[in-house]
Each structure stands twice: as structure tokens, then as C-alpha cells.
């Protein structure tokens, strides 16, 4: 007994499909890129396409350049900053003390009012 679906198990676009149906692919060229770890990657680009100067290394994720002798330097990782660290960059300790005193005075006034 069938489930009533004649095309069960197939998907749109399934079946033999060659260049005759898809069209011819564009002429390609391979370009070598090297990262700071010495990995080489060779992505392919269309002949008429602009080739980028940098490419991300698929093995380690570092930026890779086209010159094997001088690959791009690894990016500098900034440590995670807390909200307090950002506040301290913008405010001095004296500013913080003044703001704290102002907030405490406001709280004390609110508690005094019945």
C-alpha cells in the first residue's frame, strides 16, 4: 500500500544534470595564498574576476597573502573588557567618587521623605 505520493524520495533538481543543462563553467585560475603559519591555500577564481590581496587560511583562520616570503601578520587579539573597564577609561576616580556621592545623597533624601 503506497502513501499516495508518487514522487516520494525525490527532490527538486534531482537527476542527471550535466553541462548541457547548466551551461559551461567559466574559465578558472588558481591563486596561491600563504598565512603566517606557512599553510598554502589555492582557491580558484574566474579568469576575469578581481583577485583579492588577502584570503582567510582554511586550516588555521589567519589572514593569508599572495607573497610567500612576507605573509600578513596575525591579528592582535584584544583581551575582553568588562563594563567597569570601559567606564574607568572614560571617568577618573574623582569623577566616580562624585557620582557615587550624588547617588547616595539622592537615596538618603528619598528615605527621609515619609
Task: Provide the annotated binding site for Zn(2+).
Answer: 35, 39, 57, 60
Contact 48, 35 (CB under 8 A): no
| Annotated binding-site positions | 35, 39, 57, 60
Q: How far out from the chain centre does Cα 57 lie?
A: 13
The rounded distance, in Å, linking the Cα atoms of 48 and 29 is: 9
DSSP reduced 3-state for 32:
coil
Amino acid at each position: 500500500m503506497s502513501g499516495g505520493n508518487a514522487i516520494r524520495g525525490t527532490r527538486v533538481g534531482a537527476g542527471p544534470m550535466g553541462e548541457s543543462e547548466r551551461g559551461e563553467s567559466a574559465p578558472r585560475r588558481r591563486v596561491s595564498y600563504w598565512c603566517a603559519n606557512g599553510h598554502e591555500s589555492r582557491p580558484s577564481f574566474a579568469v576575469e574576476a578581481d583577485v583579492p590581496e588577502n584570503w582567510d587560511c582554511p586550516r588555521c583562520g589567519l589572514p593569508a597573502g599572495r607573497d610567500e616570503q612576507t605573509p600578513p601578520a596575525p591579528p592582535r587579539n584584544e583581551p575582553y573588557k568588562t563594563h567597569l573597564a570601559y567606564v574607568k577609561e572614560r571617568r577618573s576616580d574623582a569623577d566616580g567618587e562624585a557620582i557615587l556621592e550624588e547617588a547616595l545623597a539622592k537615596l538618603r533624601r528619598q528615605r527621609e521623605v515619609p
